[in-house]
Chain A
């Protein structure tokens, strides 16, 4: 059974870089798309971007200038970096597997990790 687990600092200072890792267990990361999604307090879900196991990426234009998603197949992990963070980046961050067999649904999610941007 595939499981995803987010990890990283829970507190980031304004203007610094938010860095999170998603560790995939129970299956190889060398297939599928892998995605990051976030939910700010009191708000809905926001798609951040995805990476294909080959390394190709696609980002939400609203964050594109600040986001990098990368993949490490040797560690079965993919990661998120978000630069120049502000309080508006405070959110629960989720990683998810994107099932590309049929219409790209997000069929497995991590439990989420809360990141607060504050000095």
Chain B
């Protein structure tokens, strides 16, 4: 199985801050890496697919980079509605696996 390791597990940030979350795969997954935002009581929401592509309707302050084993999600200017848990996921090879999540909290 491909293990996905996110860091940090949680972070505190202020509105307007630049936030970066990293995701590392235990083996190369090309660009089969996706980022989701998850708020309590809601369905997860796809932000970035194929490592760098912004999903339709997602604000441009979200961006993704990386390929192979190392990936980054960046929020350029954190907004109040961005406080949530973020997950990376690989779909390069089954079983598809998620990172453990990064909880972004208000500072």
Interface residues of A (CB under 8 A from B): 35, 37, 44-47, 50, 58-62, 94, 98-99, 102-107, 109-112
Contact = CB atoms under 8 A, between A and B. Distances in A.
Given A94-B43, A105-B49, A109-B44, A58 B55 contact: no
A4 to B, nearest CB: 9
Given A94-B43, A94-B44, A105-B91, A44 B98 contact: yes
Residue of B38, B42, B94 with most chain A CB atoms under a 10 A cut-off: B94
Can you list the 3 inter-chain pairs with the closest CB atoms, starting with the nearest?
A: A105-B49, A104-B91, A109-B43
Nearest to B99: A44
Interface of B: 1, 31-34, 36, 38, 42-46, 49-50, 53, 55, 87, 89, 91, 94-101
Contacts of A106: 34, 36, 44, 46, 89
A102 B49 CA distance: 8
Contacts of A60: 94-95
A94 to B, nearest CB: 6
Nearest to A100: B91
A101 B8 CA distance: 31
Contact of A105 (B1, B34, B100): B34
Contact of A107 (B33, B55, B95, B99): B55
Given A37-B44, A44-B87, A44-B100, 19 more contacts: A45-B44, A45-B98, A47-B89, A47-B97, A58-B95, A59-B95, A62-B95, A102-B49, A103-B32, A103-B49, A104-B96, A105-B34, A105-B50, A105-B55, A105-B89, A106-B44, A109-B43, A109-B45, A111-B42
